[in-house]
Amino acid sequence: MNIYLYWLIQLSWGLLINLAGLLIAAVLVCRGNKPKRFHHAVYFEFGEKWGGVNFGGFFFVQKNAHHRLKSHEYGHSFQNLLLGPMMPFAVNIPSAVRYHYRKYQLSKGHTLKPYDDFWCEGWATRLGEKHCK
């Protein structure tokens, strides 16, 4: 997909989640954190061992994030292109709830199912792999 079309859809149909991403990006830039490019997306690295989160054309990952994690977060940005205003309710909120539930399960010594078993996570990984070629 062409970068202009990518950002046109991010900032129109997919605007909702990008506003949150832009706000977080602005705070990080003010704190001296440098934005980086990952294909069409803009991302920031900060913190240790927490994973990542996507807000449309923006994503945020732990320091020294592996390519696989960045590709996964990038994959979520394509879900936003498709889901637009439904994105927070279809993906972001369920994913965030699951993230914290998994941390809780881990703290109780439970074994976790593979991360990508959750429909929108497996889908994001596949989209990332597709668009990182």
| Site track 67-106 with Zn ion (rule: CB under 5 A), x = hit | ----------------------------------------
- 9 contacts Zn ion (rule: CB under 5 A): no
**CB 32 → Zn ion: shortest distance, Å?**
27
**CB 55 → Zn ion: shortest distance, Å?**
12
Q: Can you read off the two tokens belonging to residue 128?
A: 């990332």
**103 closest CA partner among 64, 60, 51, 53:** 51
Contact range with Zn ion by CB under 5 A, out of 16-24, 38-46, 96-104, 115-123 = 115-123
Strands 58-61 and 41-45: parallel
Q: Can you read off the two tokens belonging to residue 48?
A: 């240790």
CA–CA separation, 10 vs 41, rounded Å?
Answer: 10
Selected binder of Zn ion within 14, 17, 121, 127 (CB under 5 A):
121
CA–CA separation, 131 vs 40, rounded Å?
Answer: 10
Q: Can you read off the two tokens belonging to residue 28?
A: 């990080």
**CB 22 → Zn ion: shortest distance, Å?**
20
Nearer to Zn ion, 16 or 124 (CB): 124
